[in-house]
Amino acid sequence: MKIIARGAEATIYDNKDIVIKYRKRKGYRLKEIDETLRYSRTQREFNALKRCHDAGVRVPIPMRISDDGDRLYMEKINAAQLDYRFSPLVMSGVGDIVAMMHKAGVIHGDLTTANMLMNGKKITLIDFGLGYFSKKDEDRATDIAMLKSALKSRHVKVFKQAYQLFIRHYKKRIGKEFKGIETHLRDIERRRRYYENG
Ligand SMILES: Nc1ncnc2c1ncn2[C@@H]1O[C@H](COP(=O)(O)OP(=O)(O)O)[C@@H](O)[C@H]1O
Ligand SMILES: [Mg+2]
């Protein structure tokens, strides 16, 4: 088995075109808390991936969770991390897929360009360990605000164009629900400015 990535939370293995995401034990956490966190994130990720896949949103197809609850088996996606070969133009496709995910009732919870894979024009969303089910404007706005600040910090030179393209496509696809989401986005930003300048 080959290791493809080693993050703070998980190690990602490639086993003959199946990807295994293993959330390793963290010694500094109390054992019970550590297990609850690792199992619940694995389960949340599986559930969110399944809901997305069933709704036709491009994500790795989830296969199963190991009996001990800390390994997720899923389809391997042959694509590069979006932030490594970023161009603001890809954000139109990101706007479309994030809107589709929200329409399917899924909130990602950690929406950054590091959690998107790209192959040609095809975008795939990954890393749903903080994902949950909701169709609330407020929760959708939280996802968008997180993506916006990720764009600002990682792709500062093209941030404006990238975000505009994202919003234009997101708005078009999410439809009339955009109005409520936009209101919450403004609230989030007002609060953020207040704390940053306060
Ligand atoms: N299904 C997959 N197919 C191919 N590569 C993957 C897949 N899942 C994860 N990866 C690779 O592993 C990296 C880390 O995965 P991710 O789910 O984001 O874990 P973490 O929680 O550690 O950030 C990704 O950026 C990607 O490069
Ligand atoms: Mg990640």
Whole-structure pTM value = 0.96
Structural domains in the chain plus CATH codes: 2-75 (3.30.200.20), 80-197 (1.10.510.10)
Name the residue of 17, 59, 126 to mutate for ligand 1: max ligand atoms within 8 A of Cβ.
Answer: 126
Backbone φ/ψ region at 28: left (φ over 0), alpha (ψ -120 to 50), beta = alpha
The string of pLDDT tens digits covering residues 71-82 is: 999 999 999 999
53 in ligand 1 pocket by Cβ < 6 Å? Answer: no
CB 117 within 8 A of CB 85: no
CB 60 within 8 A of CB 19: yes
Question: Among candidates 130, 125, 153, which has minimal Cα distance to 142?
Answer: 130
CB 122 within 8 A of CB 79: yes
- pLDDT score, position 198: 67
48 in ligand 1 pocket by Cβ < 6 Å? Answer: no
The string of pLDDT tens digits covering residues 145-195 is: 999 999 999 999 999 999 999 999 999 999 999 999 999 999 999 998 888
As a 3-state breakdown, the chain gives helix, strand, coil percent values, each rounded to 5, of 55, 20, 25
Q: Is the pLDDT of residue 85 over 90?
A: no
- Tokens read off for 85: 């070969």
- pLDDT score, position 82: 96
Q: Which residues contact 65 (CB under 8 A, 6 or more apart)?
A: 42, 43, 46, 71, 72, 73
